[in-house]
Chains A and B, each alone.
Chain A
Amino acid sequence: MTDQTVTSDSGSAKSAEQSSEFAASRLAGGDGRDAILEVENLRMYFPVKSSGVIRRTVGHVQAVDGVSFQVPAGGALGLVGESGCGKSTTGRLITRLYQPTGGKIMFEGKDIAGLSPKKLMPLRRDIQMIFQDPYTSLNPRHTVGAIVGAPLLIHNVVPKKKVLPRVQELLEVVGLNPEHYNRYPNEFSGGQRQRIGIARALTLQPKLLVADEPVSALDVSIQAQVVNLLQDLQREFDISFLFIAHDLAVVRHFCPEVAVMYLGKIVEIADRETLYNHPQHPYTQALLSAVPDVKQAAIGGRRERIRLEGDVPSPINPPSGCRFRTRCPLAQEICAKQEPPLLQIGERHKVACHFAGEIGQHPTKPVTARLLGIDDQGNPDPGATPDPNAVEQPGFADTWYDVQGGHLGAKA
């Protein structure tokens, strides 16, 4: 941490100076690790049609609304959140099963958000998806060999004669009997089917795998097999993962870095130690406290649950300001007026909350006010200059805003 303390008199020349310093370091870019995928301000709005005589578009499901993150090469980013928060949509946008409404998807430095299907073709080899339901995602009328080999034929990567040996090799990799290439999906159990799905995704040796709830539909005793398989594959083939799941424990186990989504936005993103041990967003805290923990409960050390009231609001009409405010126990006036930016508050930790802080240590004054050029109630403060860097960036900068200290922090 540096000693560049930000004085509280907002708008002073000094703090503006520091802001630009802050910006410079940000542009210098992250910590040197290459990102294979960089998503910036990604948005997906699904139109909602009226039921009138002429079917007009009356609104939009803001399924994903301004999401930014990075997936490091060879790493794994976890995406967690409640049902309907936009996790699958994000995954489908990255594999370009959907055309994004806006934003950038930089894959190996190239923006694929606006590419035509034809131009996407070669990229489809590099980005593959594993689906949640092993029962419906495999065509029941095709043999396993046909399912796993199809991408090879479509992309013309190996001569026809070599398809079968390659398929058998893949089946072996995922722990299935290679002699079973002639069988149909219904002859396999759920866990085995999920392996077939994984083999299919691996066929083209992708660089990035989007795994959308790969184990949720599986029985507990089978889940571990699949998780271990994915971990082995990642190590062996150096595949990067975007791992989507609602099971916080599985995500924590698999992903060194985790992003928490709520109603189409990322509310907190951090390395797993920080996120699970020192969450600063009230939603992350509530989510974590809701997870039953066998081992802790067994010795009577159950953590106090933070009860969330009510239901997730509709993504068609999300609340103004902070989207979590309708259920947030800390919500204040400013939360309705100003959307909190996803602010970097640690070396690899970003949070989007005006009152970010650990449980029981949330500040009483909004930490974001000065950066946004507003007062503590969320009204514009004519004396303050908003920090132009308080916008969301996919990666992490070398300097950050220290919430507790109220000053810039930096890598030691």
Chain B
Amino acid sequence: MTAYIIRRMFTGIIMLIVMSMVTFLLFFSSPVNPEDFACGKNCSPALKAQTKKALGYDEPVTTQWVKFAKGVFVGRDFPDDPALKESAPETIAECPAPCLGYSRTTNSTVTEQIKEAWPISLSLAITAFFMWMIGGIVFGVIAALRRGSIIDRGIVGASLVFYAFPTFFIGLFLYKFLAIKWEIVKIPEYVPISEGGVSVWFQGLLLPAFTLSLVYMAGYVRMTRAFVLESMGEDYLRTAKSKGLAPRKVLYKHSMRAALTPLVTMAGLDLAGLMGGAIITEQVFNYPGLGKLAVTATRNFDLPLVVGIVLVLAAVVIVANLVVDLLYAVIDPRVRVG
């Protein structure tokens, strides 16, 4: 088992390295010059060259990448100029050890920016996750049990509708009516638990999280329904029934266990994807999470920030993948590694 985890982590690290390289290459092969953005509106060619040098964009891509990689482990200074550090330490920005770069557009280190944004994204993702899992499974199981009835058709139909509607539409709709017009819920706003307590934190999250969960919930309703129905046709369910088990026990112990296992895999990965995937929701509700940060960074051609976010999200997905696989081995005895 340990060997398995080590092997997986090893491949994960390699993947991260490759991803950072690919992001660098993609970025530099684009026709836009990032220094144009950093230099500002009234920019002379000389100033531009100077900015380019200051940002380090004059160096070959490989050198830039090596410096970046080094920064991740030992930290670095911006600009990396020992002479300048001697003479004018105040112009130097220090970026300590897990240094993902320095963003000139916001004048702070990437690590700091991400640190600020991730609790927001995580709050959103986790709240949405619970909403959609509970809703998805409950409605899915109900639909499966009442297969073919009006209830079933209603649930399946509704899930189709929510699946098809764009998130921004549902988001704006809920925002306009529930929060502004009818004032049923508070106007969404992120308040850290440390400041307002769990209740305020949750109230602020309610609407965006619900919006985000709807589309996933729709998918999970249908998957749960399909898995439960599938497991009900299995031979071992017939065995369970022929033992004389009560129908509830047959459902909860035998059918659900088999039906929900594949959901674990998907749920874990969806949760990880949600960390950065909530771009539209964060835009609609003006939530300064990772998704919004990523959009801003791309718009401003802020290479360090883009690379940083990409890597952090990739790492989350890789870890989630590993966790899901380990979890799967716990749930399904057949895949336990010797």
Chain A residues at the B interface, C-beta cutoff of 8 Å: 51-53
Contacts and interface: CB of A to CB of B under 8 A. Distances in A.
Contacts of A52: 3, 7
A51 B338 CA distance: 7
Nearest to B5: A53
A73 B6 CA distance: 57
Interface in B1-43: 3-4, 6-7, 10
Contacts of B4: 51
Interface pairs A-B: 5 shortest CB-CB: A52-B3, A53-B3, A53-B7, A51-B337, A53-B6
9 contacts: A51-B3, A51-B4, A51-B337, A51-B338, A52-B3, A52-B7, A53-B3, A53-B6, A53-B10
Contacts of A51: 3-4, 337-338
Nearest to A51: B337
A176 B10 CA distance: 57
A51 B337 CA distance: 7
A53 B338 CA distance: 13
Given A51-B4, A53-B7, 8 more contacts: A51-B3, A51-B337, A51-B338, A52-B3, A52-B7, A53-B3, A53-B6, A53-B10
Nearest to B338: A51
Contacts of B7: 52-53
Nearest to B1: A51
Contacts of A53: 3, 6-7, 10
Interface residues of B, number: 7
If over half of B's interface residues share one DSSP class (helix, strand or loop), that class is named, otherwise mixed; here it is helix
B322 to A, nearest CB: 15
A51 B1 CA distance: 8
Contacts of B10: 53
A51 B2 CA distance: 10
B193 to A, nearest CB: 40
B335 to A, nearest CB: 12
Indicate the member of B3, B4, B6 with the most A CB atoms within 10 Å.
B3
A173 to B, nearest CB: 39
Contacts of B6: 53
B214 to A, nearest CB: 37
B299 to A, nearest CB: 43
A52 B10 CA distance: 13
A52 B3 CA distance: 5
A18 to B, nearest CB: 53
Nearest to A54: B7
B6 to A, nearest CB: 5
A394 B10 CA distance: 50
Nearest to B10: A53
Interface string B218-250: 000000000000000000000000000000000
Nearest to B6: A53
A190 B6 CA distance: 48
A202 to B, nearest CB: 37
A18 B6 CA distance: 64
A357 B337 CA distance: 46
B1 to A, nearest CB: 8
Contacts of B337: 51
A261 B6 CA distance: 42
A52 B6 CA distance: 9
A51 B4 CA distance: 7
A150 B202 CA distance: 64
Nearest to A52: B3
A124 B337 CA distance: 40
Nearest to B337: A51
B163 to A, nearest CB: 29
A132 B156 CA distance: 41
B334 to A, nearest CB: 15
Contacts of B338: 51
Contacts of B3: 51-53
Nearest to A55: B7
B68 to A, nearest CB: 28
A293 B3 CA distance: 53
A53 B4 CA distance: 6
A273 to B, nearest CB: 42
A51 B7 CA distance: 10
A53 B6 CA distance: 7
Nearest to B7: A53
B338 to A, nearest CB: 6
Indicate the member of B6, B7, B10, B337 with the most A CB atoms within 10 Å.
B7
A59 to B, nearest CB: 13
A52 B337 CA distance: 10
A255 B143 CA distance: 56
A38 B6 CA distance: 49
A52 B1 CA distance: 8
A61 to B, nearest CB: 15
A53 B7 CA distance: 5
A53 B337 CA distance: 12
A52 B338 CA distance: 10
Nearest to B4: A51
A29 B261 CA distance: 62
A315 B3 CA distance: 26
Nearest to B8: A53
A53 B9 CA distance: 10
A54 B293 CA distance: 39
A325 to B, nearest CB: 27
A239 B4 CA distance: 51
A310 B337 CA distance: 26
A9 to B, nearest CB: 53
